[in-house]
């Protein structure tokens, strides 16, 4: 009998269930006696021994269902080696449960932090296959992550809705898009939604350049402007600070988020009325878009194929539309960021989009 543990970890996204369904369906096609353990709430379930034995029916009807049927939680990698409040050695506990349940392997769906812990478990002797989940699209080793395109659709829709009201009132609108460390989501939604200014963590902005871009639009007779601002957008000034200095500065900050700071500066310098919209977690909610359903099904099926072949220690990624296994040791600890010199940035600038640089 094959025993496989499924685990979803970190922030959720729309296509987790579709991906698990892809793995499960392929395994059920191959084996009559496969048993799937749904490990509850991510690594927490593996540490504290919480799981649910899944049945084939559990994976029916979930292709279009957002969230995760087995729950998730954030368990920071940097705390994995620290004992919990009762002195429990978390890594040891995870290995013991893996052994106690008699698992042949773990299928782990998650983002960057999740991959670091997955790699640790693999190094500690567990058989692991992972799948790249995140609306941020920042996992190294794959062109795209599942969840990203669904989130792009939602963030774009938010910008689309803002367009009509911005045009009616002649205001400056800021739409704050998720992404603390990377700006893929903001970049794609910004271009798709026709934003005039896009601010990303990877391209520190100068507020003078932002104001200049707004002035240019005003001179062209445009009555409104839209900014797509990533949660992690940063000014040139702040980008020069050390991590410690930046943390201290953020603590003193009176603004709920970066958009409010940018908004106030624009209002003060231009006298234009500014409004801020934060779609927040709506970007991770609802059903997966068809594109995500397709890649999730493909990735899930390919992950099951690795299990069938007994190939462990890999993340299943996508390169040039082909599914490929990428060694976990290469993925863990790296981030796929937007390159400021890449062609997508050049093309966006060619369209007249300002990045405030
Ligand atoms: O990593 C996904 C993500 O949605 C980021 O874009 C965002 O910065 C973060 O998670 C929010 O985390 P939480 O849901 O824990 O507030």
Give DSSP secondary structure letters for 113-144. HHHHHHHHHHHTT--EEEEEB-TT--BTT-S-
Looking at domain 150-284, which of 3.30.70.100, 2.30.40.10, 3.10.580.10, 3.40.50.460 is its CATH number? 3.40.50.460
The confidence score (pLDDT) of residue 86 equals 96
The answer to whether the 2-147+288-331 and 150-284 domains have the same CATH topology is: yes
The confidence score (pLDDT) of residue 144 equals 98
The number of the ligand 1 atom at minimal distance from the alpha carbon of 284 is 4
Span from the CA of 281 to the centroid of ligand 1 (angstroms): 8
The number of the ligand 1 atom at minimal distance from the alpha carbon of 178 is 6
- The model's pLDDT over 33-83, given as tens digits with 9 standing for 90+, comes to 999 999 999 999 999 999 999 999 999 999 999 999 999 999 999 999 999
**Domain ranges, ordered by start, for the chain:** 2-147+288-331, 150-284
Q: Closest Cα to atom 2, ligand 1: which residue?
A: 11
What number does CATH give the domain 2-147+288-331?
Answer: 3.40.50.450
The number of the ligand 1 atom at minimal distance from the alpha carbon of 138 is 1
The confidence score (pLDDT) of residue 251 equals 84
Confidence of residue 339 (pLDDT cuts 50, 70, 90): very high
The confidence score (pLDDT) of residue 343 equals 98
Q: Residue 230 in 3-state DSSP? A: strand
Span from the CA of 306 to the centroid of ligand 1 (angstroms): 29
Q: Residue 91 in 3-state DSSP? A: helix
Confidence of residue 249 (pLDDT cuts 50, 70, 90): confident
Span from the CA of 178 to the centroid of ligand 1 (angstroms): 7
The confidence score (pLDDT) of residue 253 equals 81
Q: Which of 8, 9, 10, 11 to mutate to test the pocket of ligand 1 (most atoms within 8 A of CB)?
A: 11
d(CA 99, CA 178): 38
Q: Is the pLDDT of residue 143 over 90?
A: yes
Span from the CA of 179 to the centroid of ligand 1 (angstroms): 7
Q: In what order do the strands lie in the sheet with 322-327?
A: 51-54, 35-39, 3-8, 105-110, 128-132, 314-319, 322-327
DSSP code of residue 283: G
Confidence of residue 1 (pLDDT cuts 50, 70, 90): confident
Q: What is the CB < 6 Å shell around ligand 1?
A: 11, 74, 111, 134-136, 178-180, 231, 284
Q: How many CB atoms lie within 10 A of CB 63?
A: 18
From first CA to last CA, the distance across the chain in angstroms is: 58
Report the percentage of the chain scoring pLDDT > 90: 96
Q: Which two tokens stand for residue 154?
A: 């939602």
- The model's pLDDT over 72-117, given as tens digits with 9 standing for 90+, comes to 999 999 999 999 999 999 999 999 999 999 999 999 999 999 999 9
Span from the CA of 277 to the centroid of ligand 1 (angstroms): 17
Q: Closest Cα to atom 10, ligand 1: which residue?
A: 11
Q: Is the pLDDT of residue 252 over 90?
A: no
Q: Tell me the pLDDT of the chain averaged across its residues.
A: 97
Confidence of residue 189 (pLDDT cuts 50, 70, 90): very high
The number of the ligand 1 atom at minimal distance from the alpha carbon of 232 is 8
Q: Is the pLDDT of residue 118 over 90?
A: yes
Q: Is the pLDDT of residue 130 over 90?
A: yes
Confidence of residue 205 (pLDDT cuts 50, 70, 90): very high
The confidence score (pLDDT) of residue 250 equals 83
The confidence score (pLDDT) of residue 23 equals 98
Which residues are known to be catalytic?
A: 136
Q: Is the pLDDT of residue 170 over 90?
A: no
For range 294-309, the mean pLDDT: 98
């Amino acid at each position: 009998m094959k025993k496989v543990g499924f685990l979803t970890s970190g922030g959720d996204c729309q296509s987790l269930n579709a991906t698990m369904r892809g793995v499960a369906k392929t395994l059920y096609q191959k084996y009559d006696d496969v048993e799937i353990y749904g490990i509850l709430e991510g690594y927490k379930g593996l540490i504290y021994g919480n799981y649910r034995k899944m049945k084939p029916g559990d994976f029916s009807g979930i292709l279009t269902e957002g969230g995760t049927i087995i729950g998730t939680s954030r368990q920071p990698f940097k705390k994995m080696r620290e004992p919990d409040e009762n002195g429990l050695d978390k890594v040891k506990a995870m290995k013991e449960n893996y052994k106690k349940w008699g698992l042949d392997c773990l299928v782990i769906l998650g983002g960057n932090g999740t991959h670091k812990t997955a790699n640790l478990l693999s190094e500690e002797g567990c058989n692991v296959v992972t799948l790249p989940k995140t609306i941020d699209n920042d996992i190294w080793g794959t062109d795209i992550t599942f969840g990203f395109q669904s989130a792009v659709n939602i963030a774009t829709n938010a910008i689309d809705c803002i367009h009509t009201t911005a045009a009616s009132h002649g205001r400056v609108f800021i739409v704050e898009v998720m992404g603390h460390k990377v700006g893929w989501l903001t970049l794609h939604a910004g271009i798709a939604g026709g934003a005039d200014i896009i601010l990303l963590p990877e391209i520190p902005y100068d507020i003078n350049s932002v104001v200049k871009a707004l002035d240019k639009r005003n001179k062209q007779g445009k009555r409104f402007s839209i900014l797509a601002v990533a949660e992690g957008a940063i000014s040139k000034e702040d980008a020069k600070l050390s991590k410690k200095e930046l943390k201290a500065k953020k603590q003193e900050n009176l603004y709920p988020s970066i958009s409010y700071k940018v908004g106030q500066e624009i209002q003060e310098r231009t006298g234009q009325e500014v409004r801020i919209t934060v779609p927040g977690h709506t970007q991770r909610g609802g059903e997966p878009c068809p594109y995500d359903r397709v890649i999730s099904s493909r990735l899930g099926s390919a992950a099951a194929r690795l299990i069938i072949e007994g190939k462990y220690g890999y993340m299943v990624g996508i390169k040039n539309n082909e599914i490929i296994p990428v060694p976990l040791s290469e993925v863990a600890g790296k981030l796929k960021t937007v390159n400021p010199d890449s062609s997508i940035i050049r093309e966006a600038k060619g369209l007249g989009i300002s990045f405030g640089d």
